[in-house]
Each structure stands twice: as structure tokens, then as C-alpha cells.
Amino acid sequence: MSFQLSTLKILAGQPDGRGSLALIKQHLAVFYTSGPEWTARMKSLAERAPQLDIFAQRLVVRDAGDWVITDEGRAVLEALERPASGNSSHSAEATISEGVSRLRTAPTRSLEHRKRRRIKRRRHRGSESSA
């Protein structure tokens, strides 16, 4: 979870919201080796959005070898980072969780569908090697 939040933060910090996997790894290495503050901060944010899935919910998309934060991704990150106000902290966290869970999710594939695809790939690879 904290990897996903860190990825959102890194991409949001880029001028065009875009970064390669190498760039993201580079930033992650710096953040996670610079002390416990980053980890604690990401853990705290993760507790506010336990159902977060940046790719399935299309908060980050892959485009031509780069990862790009979407407008929805920026909105979710902004909501997560907004400080909870006094007594309404529970309701603020509930609102964030509800908002994240309402985001689009990737369609789930059945186990049977996955088995058929795996068999099809094996057959295709077998026909290529014999040609």
C-alpha cells in the first residue's frame, strides 16, 4: 500500500505528472533509506484509504513506458493529505474511504478464463517453436 501512495506522491511531484519506472525506483530508494519519517507518513496515509489500488482505480495509468498520475489520482492524494479537522476525523476518513471505493475498479476475471488464456498461450508458444 505505501508503495502505491509513494508512487502517487512521486508522480504528483513531477512537472507533467509523468515518470518512468526507473525514476520512481530512484525516488523510492531515496525516500525509504532517508529515515523512518517517510515510511511513517505513508503508513498514516494508507490507514485512511485501505482499499486503494492505484492501477485498478485508474489513479495512475501506463503510457508509452511511463506512469502518469490522472486527475482522479491527484484528487485522491489531495483528499488523503488534507488534515482531519478535530472531532470530524472519523467522518473525514470514512468519506475518503467511500470515495476511493467508488472509483472504477478493474473487471475481475474468473479462474476459468485465466486457465483458458494460459492454455492458449502455451499452444501458441508451442506452434512458434516448431515453425
Domain limits, the chain: 2-130
Is this prediction's pTM over 0.85? Answer: no
pLDDT (0 to 100) of residue 118? 81
Tell me the C-alpha distance between 21 and 78, whole Å: 23
Nine cell digits for residue 11: 508522480
- Model confidence pLDDT, tens digit, residues 94-129: 545 555 555 544 445 566 767 787 888 888 777 766
Whole-number Å distance between alpha carbons of 6 and 54: 11
